[in-house]
Amino acid sequence: MHDWSEYELETIAVRAGQHRTNEGEQSEPIFPTSSFTFASAAEAAARFSGAEPGNIYSRFTNPTVRTFEERLAALEGGERCVATSSGMAAILSTCMGLLKAGDHVVSSRSIFGTTTILFNNFFAKFEVETDFVGLSDYEAWEAAIRPETKLLFLETPSNPMTEIADIRRLADLAHRHDALLVVDNCFCTPALQRPLDLGADLIIHSATKYLDGQGRAIGGAVVGGGEAIEAVYSFLRSAGPTMSPFNGWIFLKGLETLSLRMERHCDNALKLAQWLEAQPNVETVFYPGLASHPQHELAKRQQSGFGGLLSFVVKGGKEAAWRVIDGTQFISITANLGDTKSTITHPATTTHGRLSDEQKLEAGIVDGLVRVSAGLENIDDIIADLKRGLG
């Protein structure tokens, strides 16, 4: 594998991982094949024993998927990447690879809802217990750690409140207790934040979001080094939550425009946040790029951009929030995010609808809260579309 550490992100995103065949193709080829053939019995034996690297079977070795893996690993500054069939499969593979009965996980409370269900309803069945703490409540993280704690898990910025955690500080905490820090880097992507540089051990991606960025496919990835990523790969090889070659190719093409897209997502989100903050019917705006954000300084230090996701509270509760949502003419009403198309969501009745009133209050999910994932449309049009229902 070529050493990409000397190159800038934009170059890596376009070039890393490409291995041309003898056909001289410019774009990366798709290899839709389940298995691979060998020149001889000896070569087959060498491939299976691991003495010789190379393709065997697409559950765990496919050239298109490998190109995506090498490119994303280079972008994150990681040794190796394991691509998976979805973001959830990435989290599953990480936990199945690294945990056993009796182990303990400390996780941020503000994580993707399905991840919470995976921890509470499924890993718990195998006697892996999880405690949830406030994302930036560092004392609570420390207090929750036990001798059996193997993993600390978080997303930063959080969704939909855009709270930020100090990755370096939590990596140090994890390592003092012989645990690993796993960061779901879905919202920033390596274009804006590189958690491995800050001490994290493994990175999770839902490639479904910004890595593709065009709403075309479901996929995921784990990036890291050493025994940890080998354990994740081992699980994938045995259990098969594998990325398909077709999806690998889509994500590969997504990566090529990642930095350009993220730049515009950040620009549009900042302009939108600033406009919202000046509206009389808006109570609060949550966006790390605003000076009013409580962790604006940390965000500036830790990220190279503030992201495309923001939320705001409109005066008048659920009725007013729904009026904003229903007033839009082109912004997509959907729970998805990280798309070229702007999306709008009412967390209290959708993504966070299953929470009790008490849990919602604790998470800041009030009835007037609206979440927007700023897309790549013209910012004046986005603002005009939101203005309609805002009164």
Ligand X SMILES: *Cc1c(COP(=O)(O)O)cnc(C)c1O
Q: What is the nearest approach in angstroms of ligand X to the Cβ of residue 280?
A: 32
Q: What is the nearest approach in angstroms of ligand X to the Cβ of residue 82?
A: 14
Q: What is the nearest approach in angstroms of ligand X to the Cβ of residue 88?
A: 4
Q: How far apart are CA 313 and CA 285, in angstroms?
A: 7
Q: Which residue is nearest to ligand X (CB)?
A: 87
Is the Cβ of residue 160 or residue 389 nearer to ligand X in the bound state?
160
Is the Cβ of residue 290 or residue 309 nearer to ligand X in the bound state?
309
Is the Cβ of residue 66 or residue 209 nearer to ligand X in the bound state?
209
Is the Cβ of residue 85 or residue 379 nearer to ligand X in the bound state?
85
Q: What is the nearest approach in angstroms of ligand X to the Cβ of residue 347?
A: 13
Determine if residue 120 is left, alpha or beta; phi over 0 gives left, psi from -120 to 50 gives alpha, anything else beta. alpha
Three-state SS annotation for the chain: CCCCCCCCHHHHHHHCCCCCCCCCCCCCCCCCCCECCCCCHHHHHHHHHCCCCCCCECCCCCHHHHHHHHHHHHHHCCCEEEEECCHHHHHHHHHHHHCCCCCEEEEECCCCHHHHHHHHHHHHHHCCEEEEECCCCHHHHHHHCCCCEEEEEEECCCCCCCCCCCHHHHHHHHHHCCCEEEEECCCCHHHHCCHHHHCCCEEEEECCCCCCCCCCCCCEEEEECHHHHHHHHHHHHHHCCECCHHHHHHHHHHHHCHHHHHHHHHHHHHHHHHHHHCCCCEEEEECCCCCCCCCHHHHHHHCCCCCCEEEEEECCHHHHHHHHHHHCCCCEECCCCCCCCCEEECHHHCCCCCCCHHHHHHHCCCCCEEEEECCCCCHHHHHHHHHHHHC
| Contact call for residues 123 and 97 (beta carbons, < 8 A) | no
Is the Cβ of residue 62 or residue 206 nearer to ligand X in the bound state?
206
Q: What is the nearest approach in angstroms of ligand X to the Cβ of residue 218?
A: 5
* Residues of this chain that bind ligand X (CB under 6 A): 86-88, 112, 115, 155, 184, 186, 206, 208-209, 218, 220
Q: What is the nearest approach in angstroms of ligand X to the Cβ of residue 252?
A: 16
Q: Determine how β-strand 202-206 pairs with β-strand 220-224.
A: antiparallel
Is the Cβ of residue 221 or residue 348 nearer to ligand X in the bound state?
221
Q: What is the nearest approach in angstroms of ligand X to the Cβ of residue 222?
A: 12
Q: What is the nearest approach in angstroms of ligand X to the Cβ of residue 78?
A: 18
Is the Cβ of residue 218 or residue 383 nearer to ligand X in the bound state?
218
Is the Cβ of residue 94 or residue 208 nearer to ligand X in the bound state?
208
| Contact call for residues 211 and 220 (beta carbons, < 8 A) | no
Q: What is the nearest approach in angstroms of ligand X to the Cβ of residue 157?
A: 10
Is the Cβ of residue 215 or residue 316 nearer to ligand X in the bound state?
215
Residue 271: CB atoms within 10 Å: 16
